[in-house]
Chains A and B, each alone.
Chain A
Amino acid sequence: MRTRRSGAAIALVALAVFVSACGGGSGSSDEGPIIFGMETSLSGSDAAFGTANRDGATLAIDQANEEGVLDGREIELRAEDDEARPEKAASICKKFSTQAAVVFTAFSYTSTPCTGVLEGKRPQVTILATAHSLTEEGNEWIFRIAVPDTTLANDVLTYVKEQGWQRIALTHANDDFGNGAAESINAAADEMGLDVVAEETYVAGDREFSAQLGKVKDANPDVHLNWGNYAESAALVKQRENFGLDSVPYIESDAVATPEYSKLGGDAVEGVLYATHWSPTYDTPTNTQYMKDFEAEFGHPPDLYSTEAYTAARVAIEAIKSAGSTDPQEVRDALAETDLDTPMGQITFDEKGDPTYSTFLVELLGGGEEKVVVGR
């Protein structure tokens, strides 16, 4: 009896070792496919982003593989679902930090798990994250595609000041995404001499905002800024009218740059402004071509999240080409030197790994239409 049990246990352990050895790191060896590991939300409340991320990166990778990247090696995209859960995201990141040539992170959108990868010393391109803290840890391995919230806050408040709006009401999600932005907005407001007259928070999954909206109303603001995920924001924008706030100018974060927001919010989204990193109406040859290619491959136009992922993948591909290898340090150095024309504009990185381009401010016109109010 005892021998049989321990025999089975030994067999299991051997099998486990074998399997993990098989799954393990071929990302930066010199043969086999070049692995792009992507951690994103393919289900849960962020699902709209995740599938868009995967599609955008897929397009860039397919195009690159056709042209050839490195000695006939193909790039392989491995996109895994973090189910909008930090623990899951962290474990996916950990896995890719030994397996992948470049790690693309998205959950970092609410920002914490990203930082756990940085120990792996693999180049990490974070697609969606705007929390400024990510690039302030002094880590040289992380590069960001989205405009960080410090720049977003500055650009948004510059617009607010130009409009002559003095009193700002701020509602935001109580997570790294919302809190990071709130910090930046408060700092920018101080600098520009604007007043944040109300600041209220909510958590993911919260869909009833009478407490927050009541306080916003009582504060009598000139403009209402909201920084939270799209489902919560859609519920909030619908409820504004209940408090007579629909006449107050309203600016949302980049989290609502998805058709889901307009679908859920219905008529209430008309006239809403939002800060973002790209717009389908951005009129450059590169963007126009990209949008055509995307629609041809996927049957529908791209949104912000597919575009950010496409750009992230393009940046990584160019870095590998320019480095001529998948060695992590060389790829990282090549990434730092990026100077590339993309659908999002010309992209270069500063010494923190943040992109140097500015914010788009877009107005929703209803019926799925939008127009750029402040461009790039």
Chain B
Amino acid sequence: MVIGLISETFGQQLAGGLAFGVVYGLVALGFTMIIRALDLIHFGHGEMMMIGGLMGFTFTSGVGVPYGLAVPLSGAAAGIAGLILGLMIFLPLRAQGSPIINMMIATIGLSIVLQNLGKLIWGSRALEYPAVFASDPYDVGGVLVPAYVPWILAVGIVLMVALQAFFYRTHTGIAMRGASEDPVTARLMGVDPNRMILYTLGISGALGGVAGALLSPIVFASFDMGVSVGLKAFSAATIGGLGSLGGAMAGGVILGLVETIGAAKISSAYKDAFAYGLLILVLLVRPRGLFGGRKSGETML
């Protein structure tokens, strides 16, 4: 690696931070998409990750599905949950003309309800996945990289490329961008904003679900796994710039690296403090986020 500059241990810690950063980024993408489409901060979005993690447990340890297949399946399950919640809660609230603040409060309640449902169905204990990754790390130029790192990075890259293609090359994707930018004109063009919102909730849910299934072999699945990661992912989305998709992923990676570097080089006791400290710093110095532009979100991605 960049051997003279970074010790092997530090390189290894960075690799771990990078992987976690990508996972934060996937959840942050969902936050950002929902903000763009609905102007809504969805406090229950972290629970999409919980659904992915818990469903992934059922798929792998319960049904015996191989992990590689369980990840997209868990994503799909969370995506479906996102769609259902959209139909049951978000669209009706919008139809009523409910103010955004009410909807945000509703998402707080939703978060608690979903966690309790998770607890009810899967119990309160941490749940382990079958041994998925080789327990030996890979040796990359003297740096021991945990086995899960390349896998998580690969999934993150693939999804980003897929999203890019979706939003810029497909009808539906372009329609979704149009509907969030200018719903009136979009309607005139024959695009149904409600349907676009549903797609948004479905896709962002699926991204969260994949993140949950990716993280669970490392941190174990549990009903409360969405809480702290959800908060960090929201910070990541803010750091990257609410409304910028590329910013969301970048924000996630930056957050993951900063908290790891802080914990490794300064003090491990304050790991969370570094993550949230970064958020405060960014909000003070550059409130629209590192890559956030005008609300139109035509910036990085």
Interface residues of A (CB under 8 A from B): 43-45, 47-48, 174, 200-203, 205-208, 210-212, 214-215, 217-218, 231, 234-235, 238-239, 241-244, 260, 263-264, 266-268
Contact = CB atoms under 8 A, between A and B. Distances in A.
Interface in B58-106: none
B218 interface: yes
A267 B10 CA distance: 26
B220 A234 contact: yes
A260 B124 CA distance: 12
B12 A200 contact: no
A244 B9 CA distance: 10
22 contacts: A45-B124, A45-B224, A207-B218, A207-B219, A208-B20, A208-B218, A210-B12, A211-B13, A211-B263, A214-B13, A214-B264, A215-B9, A231-B222, A234-B128, A235-B219, A235-B220, A238-B218, A242-B137, A243-B12, A243-B144, A260-B125, A264-B128
Interface stretch (B161-169, B199-207, B266-274, B291-299): B266-274
B228 interface: yes
Given A43-B119, A201-B269, A242-B12, A207 B220 contact: yes
Interface string B131-155: 1000111000000101100000000
Interface residues on B, range: 35 or more
B136 to A, nearest CB: 7
B159 interface: no
A47 B144 contact: no
Given A211-B260, A242-B12, A43 B124 contact: yes
Main secondary structure of the interface of B (DSSP, over half): helix
Interface of B: 7, 9-10, 12-13, 15-17, 20, 119, 123-126, 128, 131, 135-137, 144, 146-147, 218-220, 222, 224, 228, 260, 263-264, 268-269, 271-272
Contact of A210 (B17, B119, B135, B228): B17
B126 A45 contact: yes
B264 A215 contact: yes
A46 B269 CA distance: 21
A179 B263 CA distance: 18
Closest CB pairs A-B (n = 3): A211-B263, A207-B219, A210-B16
Contacts of B13: 210-211, 214
Contacts of B136: 241
A217 B13 CA distance: 11
A212 B125 contact: no
B268 A200 contact: yes
A260 B146 CA distance: 24
A210 B149 CA distance: 12
A266 B137 contact: no
B91 to A, nearest CB: 33
A215 B125 contact: no
Contact of B144 (A174, A238, A244): A244
A321 B186 CA distance: 81
A201 B270 CA distance: 9
Given A210-B16, A218-B9, A203 B264 contact: no
A235 B128 CA distance: 10
A211 B264 contact: yes
Contacts of A235: 218-220
Given A43-B119, A264-B220, A267-B135, A214 B9 contact: yes
